Amino acid sequence: MKEVNIHVEHLTRVEGHGNIILNARNGKVEKVMWEVSEAPRLFEAFVRGKPYHQLARITSRICGICSIGHTLASLKATEAAMGIEISAQSQLLRRLAIHGENMQSHILHLGYLVSPDLFGVGSVIPLVKTHPDAVLSIVKLHRVANEYSDAICGRTTHPTNLVPGGLHKSPSPVKLRKCREMLLDSVDTANAVAELLLDNAGALPDFSRETEFIALTSEEEYALYDGLIGSTDAGTYPAEAYESVVNEFVVPHSTAKYCKNKRESFMVGALARFNLNHKHLSPMAAKWAERFGLKAVCHNPFMNNVAQLVEFVHSIEDSIAIIDRLLEDYKDEPRPRITPKAGRGIGIVDVPRGILFHDYTYDENGICVKANCVIPTNQNHNNIQHDFEAFAPTLLGRPEKEIELNLEMLVRAYDPCISCSTHFLKVEWKR
């Protein structure tokens, strides 16, 4: 049988630099590899020596997409380290912040990066001609998500309104009502986009490999902002156990660290959250999960796209419910005043791409002496590799272009944020 040699350098429609390599001979895969070539980021070193109130500002810059999530994980770590309590109202407002970010990120991924695969085109640009209504709807949803995040967080990215102890200032009730209106108005658009994606969901490969899923989980809600570390294999862990859950290790072909827990790898992200928290989905979100045939525990990584869509709808519905709760008894809370303390704190939130850990140690003046951040995409690299090993052999009979597309789609399904730069497609064929 013919030889297959695939080398996709700097895969497009993902964040950052990653390469795909596949060599096969006589119907056997000799080498299949997901290679991460991004330069190390060194944020943990940047923040050493910085005062506690600057940490979230700095670490939010780790990412341009999930900067709200980094801010929240960072604030939670700082608050845990110093024993700072935050008001019930601030907790709810922060939940809105994370919903806003989830919506921003998911629609960006599904609308601009994944939909071209579903419609069988190379990028979102040709879709403007063939599916103008769909593109306009996606842009509208993206705008809603941005304006919503801006209203709560003070900026659409790298938020300024979230500070240790709560919020810099509570968004006005007028603003909240406006958000509510905007979200309500986006429901039909979201349903229409979901309907369209459902019509084209057949393009998602039917591939499953049993793996472990890790996400925040809670008895009370679809956990994004708060909860315990949950695993589909091993129940729950307290925050303090995070290092023994992620078990970071280094591999030679990657500048990112790899992770594993109970099995050879695990997966984080929307699908992991769905698998662990599906009971708490809002009604409309649950309905969409059912219509897409998404059932827990789902082991098809391609269904992460569907889980994102389901979460998008959930974030709209849950946001509206939270805003209603807030408005029942809403106060203009003063800016929190904080006296720094020495200590170590771990902050965990589940951001669009999965569970995120920030772990800080402070001295008695509130100066950071040690920091550790474990980023979702890092936790997924190892799972992508193991998926490759299982998926590639099933593809070998097909034309090279198709094999390549399938592997690319697999990586994209994880919505990896390999760093914060996107590069253009360069595919290399070696024959």
Residues that bind another protein (CB under 8 A): 50-51, 54, 57-58, 154-155, 158, 160-161, 168-169, 335
Which is nearer to another protein, 39 or 250 (by Cβ)? 39
Whether the CB-CB separation of 415 and 272 falls below 8 Å is answered with no
Smallest distance from the beta carbon of 330 to another protein, in angstroms?
A: 17
Smallest distance from the beta carbon of 154 to another protein, in angstroms?
A: 5
Which is nearer to another protein, 161 or 211 (by Cβ)? 161
Residue 203 DSSP label? G
Which is nearer to another protein, 84 or 153 (by Cβ)? 153
Which is nearer to another protein, 10 or 57 (by Cβ)? 57
Smallest distance from the beta carbon of 150 to another protein, in angstroms?
A: 9
Question: Which of 93, 220, 108, 232 has the alpha carbon at shortest distance from 166?
Answer: 93
Smallest distance from the beta carbon of 68 to another protein, in angstroms?
A: 15
Rounded to an integer, what distance in angstroms lies between the CA atom of residue 288 and that of residue 27?
A: 39
Burial of 87 (0-12, 13-18, 19+ CB in 10 A): middle
Which is nearer to another protein, 163 or 403 (by Cβ)? 163
Smallest distance from the beta carbon of 157 to another protein, in angstroms?
A: 11
Rounded to an integer, what distance in angstroms lies between the CA atom of residue 407 and that of residue 400?
A: 11
What residues are paired with 429 via a beta bridge?
A: 6
Question: Which are the contacts of 287, defined by CB distance < 8 A and separation ≥ 6?
Answer: none
Distances in Å between the alpha carbon of 419 and those of 40, 94, 115, 192, 312? Answer: 9, 25, 22, 32, 23
Which is nearer to another protein, 50 or 291 (by Cβ)? 50
Which is nearer to another protein, 89 or 170 (by Cβ)? 170
How close are the terminal C-alpha atoms of the chain, in Å? 14
DSSP, collapsed to helix, strand or coil, labels residue 331 as coil
Which is nearer to another protein, 129 or 337 (by Cβ)? 337
Which is nearer to another protein, 154 or 347 (by Cβ)? 154
Rounded to an integer, what distance in angstroms lies between the CA atom of residue 420 and that of residue 169?
A: 29
Smallest distance from the beta carbon of 54 to another protein, in angstroms?
A: 5
Smallest distance from the beta carbon of 58 to another protein, in angstroms?
A: 7
Smallest distance from the beta carbon of 67 to another protein, in angstroms?
A: 12
Count Cβ atoms below 10 Å from residue 49 Cβ, excluding itself: 10
Question: Which are the contacts of 207, defined by CB distance < 8 A and separation ≥ 6?
Answer: 300, 301, 302, 387, 390, 391, 394, 410
Smallest distance from the beta carbon of 388 to another protein, in angstroms?
A: 37
What is the radius of gyration, based on Cα positions, of the chain? Answer: 21
Which is nearer to another protein, 49 or 122 (by Cβ)? 49
Distances in Å between the alpha carbon of 265 and those of 69, 154, 300, 321? Answer: 24, 38, 15, 36
Smallest distance from the beta carbon of 321 to another protein, in angstroms?
A: 26
Count Cβ atoms below 10 Å from residue 277 Cβ, excluding itself: 23
